[in-house]
Structure 1
Amino acid sequence: MDVDGRTIASYRPTKPGLAVFVSGVTSMGIEILALPIVAPQYGSHIYTVGGILTVCLAALSLGYWQGGKRAASATTREMTWIMLATAVYMGVVIYANELLVVQTSTLALPARYAALPSVIVLFGPPTYLLGFISPYAAELSAKEGTGEASGHVYALGTIGSIVGSGATTFVLIPLLTIGQIALLFGLMLVATALAIEAPSLPRKPTAASVVVAVLLVVAAGGGPVALDYRGDVVYETTTAYQQQLEVVDDGDVRTMYLDDARHSAVDLEDPDRHVFTYTKYFHLPMLMADDPDEIDRVLFIGGGGYTGPQDFEERYNATVDVVEIDPTVTDAAKEYFGLEENENLTVHTGDGRQYLERTNETYDLIVLDAYQKDQVPFHLTTEEFMEVASERLTDDGMLYANVISAPTGSAGAFYRAQYRTMDEVFPEVYSFRTSETSSIQNIEVVATKNATEMSTRELERRNDARDLGVDLEDAVHNRMDEPDTDGAPVLRDDRGGVNGLLDPMLGQRYVVEETAGNGSNESVAETEPTEPAAPAAIGAPSSLEVIDSPSPISGVETDGARPVPADAT
């Protein structure tokens, strides 16, 4: 049958054309897959994403160059071996990705470049090998003329890249685990190698293809090799937002990890215990309100394990709405953290800012606890967002923001900018540190539409008088003076620079205070790396080490209240 003078058979892809298409699918799929593999260690910071793009493009270009030099003697058999060699390396990625990431993270590099060795080791070799395919295919193409052959190869490779990018992002990552996706790419390469040799299927390439396929399946079945110090992983998956979600049990404590960062925790034997000290601070607005019973509508932006929203719904006579962008996180909270929606607790799936812009509801309290690794999404930090939040608050409403930053010094640049931004919109802003060290930590910033300043002494009096069921003595004691924001920028939608504010924190450690778990108010400090992770053995500060040697906070209240302790050294 003819179509425009050509037979249907002429539209069948040639063997070189098939190889180019599959290499395009695989190379772009590997590039997309790289982020959820390295993000748990280094975070999804711009330097991690940029490092992945740089390494993959450099490796691919090097492969093009080397392949072009050798293309004059290219054969389909060489393309077969390249496909199989790439598939073998996919087995390495499946089985040893966590081990290789951890080992390469110990290299003594500046924090912004810390992810590069991991990306080079894991994704440089397979991308480099796939770069050989295009110049080989152009040499072996049946097209007349160099220009036509090159154009044909470029088109097929680009179409393959589009398919690989779209399928990996929108289909594979939401449905499969990282290991399963890598297995699929490996088997696709093996199948292509066999298709290139068909119909003759010579003995050596065929046997090698079978061996490689078996190795891939064994690697996938065995799972990644790694030493998990955190406890027993009871559930893990990759979400549609390319977050690696894990639920880990360590004794009686169950923790939700997103990209290797702890987001929520519950004591299975004592559900009322606040495992993370900063979650106790969520109740500070109940001291700041003239009457805590007047806080009857609360919005949480960010769900995680939903420990905070559930605590509010159970402890107070309040209606609680929660906006969580990732439905997989909500599903995990229902399965492993006891989340149950009811008439007083409602979950909304979507972006927090978009929800505020579209809803007609007003709230007495908005709790901002949304994070990507250890930073608030930029569009939830700006003056424009604060204005939207203020419009959705009642006349005496409050906005509570959980900020990860240092209280002073260069690593506190983001905190000072966030404080100044909130101060532009709200009459009164208060901040409370969760650790008495000068390390990066959870700083709780409360902005209120009530213009009457609340003294520390009054907060202490209310904590003693009100039966909240949560003792906030330590939280009140950790109130900080207003920071010096003279050099801090006001964060705006049309003005970038957040990455620059976060740069001083890269590779440092932040203190996560935990309650002792014995019913007392004592706490212990645990540390986590800010993204990207610092070398674990070389150049990393200890858990309570002063970061960037900030000057101590004076912390003396004007009303004669107890001073905030100076930073530990």
Structure 2
Amino acid sequence: MRTIAAMDSSPPEAADTATVADEPAGPPARALPTGLAATLVFVASGAVLVLETASLRLVGPYVGVTLQVTSSVIGVALAAIAYGAWIGGWLADRRDPRRLLAPALVLAGICTALTLPIVRYAGEVLRGGAAVGILLLTALAIFLPAALLASITPLVVKLQLADLRQTGQVVGRLSSIGTLGAITATLGTGFVLVAALPSTAIIISLAVLLGATGLVLAVYLRRQSRDTLPKPSRVTAAAAVLGLAGASLSAVAPTPCDVETAYHCASVEADPDNSTGRLLVLNSAWHSYVDLADPQHLEFEYTQWIGAVADMMAPPRAPLQAVHLGGGGFTMPRYLTATRPGTRNEVYEIDGGLVELGRRELDVQTGPELRARVGDARMLIGERPAQSADLVVGDAFGHLVVPWHLATREMAAEVRRVIRPGGIYAQNVIDHPPLRFIRSEVATVAAEFPHVALIAPPAALAGSQGANFVILASDRPLPLEPVRERLITSADGPVTVLSGTALDEFVDDAIVLTDEYAPVDQLLATA
């Protein structure tokens, strides 16, 4: 009781003093200049978004560019930001943030540089579209450098909170600046950097920027603190050297592309069995085959099917007005020009880099008979006059997936508007068992065209393998019997042409895709 009474009689100041005495001793950290604090938060937040955007280009050649990959990159980046901010705040309450800011930036730079060899070596192992591989590769590419960068903001905030009465103002201002940095980096990377620089240059430049910022900051803070901060240790120097040495592995790491365009990692490979054969590879997937000496040579089965349709839809060698949704290697335009002299081909290709690559290495010769327009096929076909094409070939892909906005009923309606009476729409689609997407796409096209047929290998229609499918559609009866006869004599493998009741049974109750609801990636999922 006496002890309690003595404690109760103590003045409030004494109790406060006792409480403070239990906390770690040490002088309070000095605030950073306002401009420096804002710059650090702006750069760190922006760097996360540059890394996130560039990582989509890094992982694409190995796991594709699909909704799942994009979602994984965004999800991993957000997880890194959350954990980085949490850990940064925890450390800020236990250590002088001035001692942590520069090392965090330098380590973020080292980890960013290491992203290149890590992704290129791990990508070869994790190649494919499996969900686990996608998540693991994106985590290897983003998580650690993004988490280190996310820790910068809470460290800076801690230093700036000298007056608790201004907590809201400080936190709000720095949060706003961080968001502006992220917005600037997103727009700058998407509109400028990706178009001007390969992803390797973007990543290395970002790593150098972060490392240099960290080193300059370390020197500045040490001078401002009058040598109370420690000098960079040998361990720090060794880590920097090891990081740079590891980053240099990217120079010898396997690279999947010869040319990096705004949308693709592209390469042209020579056919070892044909000296004039060239294979266009986009994001490690075969996209087009071109025989430089023989434009009538169609290597891939689906091109043989479309060629047979083009041969049978009009009198031999009669010129056509053809529109191609997607250019790739320009195989079909070259074929139509060779088999039907005078044909006017208009190609809509979103990737201008592919058009230039085609001109350099695939004998693409633009002119009156071949007009290449760079832009989104959905937008460009909307500009074309009604009933102005005899043949529309749909062969646009993002990796191995038809872009969702080119697979909807509204898109099919645009194609029907452009096609002349009796003209044909031939759409190439890739699907795998259980074939949910191809069923829905046939249903979607059939919702606009009264006459529809499907060309595919028998094994694929039976659901035992993945394959290319070609949908045929017209407002008039299709020349199916001549096409069947032509395919029997010209196709490399067995092929079936489905129509009528058999096609209805194949489609069953598949949903019609619309601009409002087109879950293409989900329909393509095999699980």
Measure how far apart 1:149 and its partner are: 2.6
- Secondary structure, in 3 states, of the residue corresponding to 2:298? coil
Distance 1:340 1:84, change over 3 A: same
From 375, 382, 388, the equivalent of 1:357 is 382
Measure how far apart 1:195 and its partner are: 2.6
From 89, 110, 135, the equivalent of 2:154 is 135
Q: Residue in 2 aligned with 1:309?
A: 333
Q: Residue in 1 aligned with 2:99?
A: 77
Measure how far apart 1:434 and its partner are: 4.4
Q: Residue in 2 aligned with 1:345?
A: 370
State the alpha-carbon separation in 2 of the partners of residues 47 and 189 from structure 1. Answer: 29
Distance 1:225 1:267, change over 3 A: same
State the one-letter code of the partner of 1:418. Answer: E
Distance 1:269 1:218, change over 3 A: farther
Q: Residue in 1 aligned with 2:6?
A: none
State the one-letter code of the partner of 1:36. Answer: R
Residue ranges of structure 2 left out of the alignment (5+ in a row): 1-30, 224-229
State the alpha-carbon separation in 1 of the partners of residues 458 and 278 from structure 2. Answer: 23
State the alpha-carbon separation in 1 of the partners of residues 395 and 80 from structure 2. Answer: 39
From 507, 510, 522, the equivalent of 1:488 is 510
- Secondary structure, in 3 states, of the residue corresponding to 2:434? helix
Question: 1:162-185: per-residue Cα shift (whole Å, max 9, x none)?
Answer: 222122111111111111111111
Measure how far apart 1:206 and its partner are: 11
State the alpha-carbon separation in 1 of the partners of residues 194 and 235 from structure 2. Answer: 31
State the alpha-carbon separation in 2 of the partners of residues 460 and 100 from structure 1. Answer: 46
The answer to whether 1:441 aligns with 2:460 is no
Note if contact 1:96-1:224 (Cα within 8 Å) is conserved in structure 2: no
Distance 1:330 1:213, change over 3 A: farther
Note if contact 1:369-1:401 (Cα within 8 Å) is conserved in structure 2: yes
State the alpha-carbon separation in 2 of the partners of residues 244 and 414 from structure 1. Answer: 26
Question: 1:150-199: per-residue Cα shift (whole Å, max 9, x none)?
Answer: 22321222122122212211111111111111111111111211231234
Question: 1:410-449: per-residue Cα shift (whole Å, max 9, x none)?
Answer: 5211111111222222222121114745311111111122
State the one-letter code of the partner of 1:225. Answer: A
State the alpha-carbon separation in 1 of the partners of residues 367 and 34 from structure 2. Answer: 56
Distance 1:177 1:75, change over 3 A: same
Structure 1 segment 1-150 matched on structure 2, within 5 A: 13-72=34-93, 73-104=95-126, 111-141=130-160, 144-145=163-164, 146-150=167-171
State the alpha-carbon separation in 2 of the partners of residues 461 and 122 from structure 1. Answer: 51
Question: 1:537-569: per-residue Cα shift (whole Å, max 9, x none)?
Answer: xxxxxxxxxxxxxxxxxxxxxxxxxxxxxxxxx
Note if contact 1:277-1:434 (Cα within 8 Å) is conserved in structure 2: no
TM-score (norm 2): 0.82
- Secondary structure, in 3 states, of the residue corresponding to 2:335? helix
Which stretch of the first structure deviates more once superposed, 152-161 or 246-255? 246-255
Measure how far apart 1:284 and its partner are: 2.2
Question: 1:231-289: per-residue Cα shift (whole Å, max 9, x none)?
Answer: xx6x32141x4x32233345344322222222112345766532322222221223442
Q: Residue in 2 aligned with 1:282?
A: 306
Q: Residue in 2 aligned with 1:161?
A: 182
The answer to whether 1:375 aligns with 2:401 is yes
Q: Residue in 2 aligned with 1:226?
A: 254
Q: Residue in 2 aligned with 1:431?
A: 454
RMSD in angstroms over aligned alpha carbons?
A: 3.0
Richer in helix (by share): 2
The answer to whether 1:329 aligns with 2:329 is no
From 223, 228, 232, the equivalent of 1:204 is 232
- Secondary structure, in 3 states, of the residue corresponding to 1:333? helix
From 400, 421, 430, the equivalent of 1:404 is 430
The answer to whether 1:479 aligns with 2:497 is yes
State the alpha-carbon separation in 2 of the partners of residues 104 and 475 from structure 1. Answer: 31
Distance 1:198 1:133, change over 3 A: same
State the alpha-carbon separation in 2 of the partners of residues 117 and 85 from structure 1. Answer: 21
Distance 1:281 1:137, change over 3 A: same
State the one-letter code of the partner of 2:197. Answer: L
State the alpha-carbon separation in 2 of the partners of residues 213 and 179 from structure 1. Answer: 20
Distance 1:435 1:276, change over 3 A: farther
State the alpha-carbon separation in 2 of the partners of residues 363 and 380 from structure 1. Answer: 18
State the alpha-carbon separation in 2 of the partners of residues 28 and 372 from structure 1. Answer: 22
Measure how far apart 1:222 and its partner are: 4.9
State the alpha-carbon separation in 1 of the partners of residues 487 and 46 from structure 2. Answer: 60
Which stretch of the first structure deviates more once superposed, 195-204 or 207-216? 207-216
Note if contact 1:302-1:322 (Cα within 8 Å) is conserved in structure 2: yes
Percent identical: 24
Note if contact 2:101-2:155 (Cα within 8 Å) is conserved in structure 1: yes
Measure how far apart 1:385 and its partner are: 1.5
Question: 1:194-241: per-residue Cα shift (whole Å, max 9, x none)?
Answer: 23123467853799579848964983685261386xxxx6x32141x4
State the alpha-carbon separation in 1 of the partners of residues 148 and 58 from structure 2. Answer: 20
Measure how far apart 1:81 and its partner are: 0.9
Q: Residue in 2 aligned with 1:522?
A: none
TM-score (norm 1): 0.76
State the alpha-carbon separation in 2 of the partners of residues 364 and 397 from structure 1. Answer: 4
State the alpha-carbon separation in 2 of the partners of residues 463 and 147 from structure 1. Answer: 73
State the alpha-carbon separation in 1 of the partners of residues 486 and 302 from structure 2. Answer: 19
Measure how far apart 1:473 and its partner are: 4.9
State the one-letter code of the partner of 1:432. Answer: I
Residue ranges of structure 1 left out of the alignment (5+ in a row): 1-9, 465-470, 507-569
State the one-letter code of the partner of 1:276. Answer: F
Note if contact 1:367-1:399 (Cα within 8 Å) is conserved in structure 2: yes
Note if contact 1:190-1:209 (Cα within 8 Å) is conserved in structure 2: no
Measure how far apart 1:304 and its partner are: 0.8
